[in-house]
Chains A and B, each alone.
Chain A
Amino acid sequence: MPREAEPSLNEKQFVIQALQSNLRLDGRKFDQYRPLEVSFGEQYGVVEVKLGKTRILAKASAEVTVPYVDRPLDGIFTIATELSPMASPAFEVNRPTETEVLLSRLLEKTVRRSGALDTESLCLVAGQKCWHVRVDVHILSHDGDLIDAACFATVASLRHFRKPDTSIENGVLTVYTPAEREPVPLGWLHSPFCVTWSFYGDEGEIAVLDATWLEEAVRVGSCTISLNRHGEICQIAKLGGTPVEALSLLQCTSIALVRVKEFSALLDKKLAEDAKRRDRGGLLAELSAENDR
């Protein structure tokens, strides 16, 4: 298994010493994110998120299937993460590394278990037909803070996604094409976002947001906090690492809430821009093209 080359000893030391004198290598403040770029694809549900050099592509899709026997009234919702060797030689196909397992668990807990998507609205015919919504998260380039970027991409793609409209008449299910009926958005309840803190120092006294790959390699611990803009915690994960004072964790949570509100506003803005763009060209142009023929 090819391993990722660790940063050299003096490089590590340099980064840590710089952090101890309140300096990050890219000049950001400790609680500052790299510029977050969101771009939506032509299709509904395709999102590319860039956080510095970290690039993530998420695509949501839906198909009609049979619901699980034990949950006949719920639709199915899955999140699949894919860390390919494209992002880093340490990732192998079909062999999840620890990073990948933890990432997919975190997304699962943040988005799925917190009930962001209303799975009951995905049910079509109880016990027989339901929508299976699936988000594929592909890591295209890895330069740290995968979790926050991946979570943002997942939420963005689900909120951007439109599933085909359906109707049931006399027990016959009809799925309409986008041309017949405008696709409908998913039943969305709240938008959770992850904020990951990285800790440095013997007692984890230095806390940094949005660590780059190099900063992640030298950190002594991390804590991922998922919140929505209503101030609800969806998940907290500080999985081991150097112990950190309980009080500073509480501080981290309150700063995280501020960041989450910013994320939320950013996503709302981007979605609105995209909707505007589509509205002007989109459906009208298509209809006129049909008329021409």
Chain B
Amino acid sequence: MPLDTSSYSLALLRVDGRRWNELRRINAQIRTQAAADGSSYLEMGHTKVMCVVTGPSEPFGPARVGRTGAGAGATAGASGGEAGVVVSIVVAGFSSVDRKRRGRGDKRIQELQSTISSALAASLHTHLFPHSTISISLHVLSQDGSLLAALINAATLACVDAGIPMTDYVAACTAGSTSTYAANDESADPLLDLNHQEEQELPGLTVATLGDSDRVAVLVCESRVQVSRLEGMLAVGVDGCKQVRAILDRVVRDKGRKMVQEGTVQKGVGLEDMEVD
């Protein structure tokens, strides 16, 4: 079904009623799996993903033999000096409208795995864990656009939950542009956080930044777009990443506060106390 982009210019509202700079509702939880080292559940609109982190731990037994092969996941920097980050993604058959079985060898999935692995490996302090492996397992429960962004956000949250030291959050979101590439429309507005329908019809890109900085860890654009529109889309995307980071941070803080309140973790020293002596 072609997306009716003509209505946008009239009301400046998108198909789902958002304005150009609005994110969809993001709902996230951490520590959803008691048995795992770290876990998270993230919804960006109707895109829903779960993440479980195991490790850092030293692989042993048959797992060690299996890991050296390309296997199911993607590895980054698995040399002896630092921990390897192995990502595996499972896309549930019921996650999209048409039920499609994706094999393990699907190149798109492998590309996603290697992207997430290398994006997180750059932020995580892997040099603290020699000989170990951090394995991140992602499950896609529902897809409605911005899949890579949701996967990166969920993986970041789970790594924070697992207590793995990192430079900063890696937060991601998508950005797009109204009207297709063919229309050489200079007045096209940039859009934030595309849903599936928009992703199909409009040019878009996925951006992930490190923390509050403008530094881009992941930039993936898979559609044709005028080079002049890149700047606008990138700016909106980077700004969206900052909003996403703030949301993820709030999730972690709320959980931490609750744990301190319950007495599960000991209370810390206040920041304002630093200047006391």
Report if A and B touch in the complex (beta carbons < 8 A).
yes
* Residues of A in contact with B (beta carbons under 8 Å apart): 1, 6, 95-98, 101-102, 104-105, 108-109, 113-115, 203-204, 220-221, 223, 227, 231-247, 249-250, 253-254, 257
A246 and B228 form a contact (CB under 8 A): no
A37 CB to closest chain B CB, in angstroms?
28
Any A CB within 8 A of the CB of B254: no
Known: A1-B68, A233-B227, A249-B234. A240 touches B116 (CB 8 A): yes
Any A CB within 8 A of the CB of B216: yes
Supply 10 A–B pairs (Cβ within 8 Å), ascending by A. A96-B70, A96-B105, A102-B111, A239-B118, A240-B121, A240-B217, A241-B122, A242-B122, A243-B209, A249-B219
For window 221-235 of chain B, which residues contact chain A by CB distance below 8 Å?
Answer: 221-222, 224-228, 230-231, 234-235
* Residues of B in contact with A (beta carbons under 8 Å apart): 68-70, 74-76, 79, 105, 107-108, 110-111, 114-123, 181, 205, 209-210, 213-222, 224-228, 230-231, 234-235, 238
A246 and B224 form a contact (CB under 8 A): no
Secondary structure call for the A interface: mixed
Residues of A within 8 A of B70 (CB): 95-98
B222 and A113 form a contact (CB under 8 A): yes
Known: A1-B69, A98-B110, A239-B118. A6 touches B79 (CB 8 A): yes
B222 and A249 form a contact (CB under 8 A): no
A243 to B209, CA, bound (A): 7
A239 and B115 form a contact (CB under 8 A): yes
> Ordered nearest first, which 10 A-B pairs have the shortest CB separation?
A240-B118, A243-B215, A240-B119, A236-B221, A238-B219, A239-B115, A243-B210, A243-B217, A231-B227, A246-B214
Residues of A within 8 A of B76 (CB): 240
B209 and A236 form a contact (CB under 8 A): no
A250 and B234 form a contact (CB under 8 A): yes
A262 CB to closest chain B CB, in angstroms?
16
A99 CB to closest chain B CB, in angstroms?
10
Closest Cβ neighbor of A254 among chain B residues: B227
Select the residue from A96, A234, A238, A240 with max chain B CB neighbours within 10 A.
Answer: A240
A74 CB to closest chain B CB, in angstroms?
18
B169 CB to closest chain A CB, in angstroms?
12
A221 to B210, CA, bound (A): 14
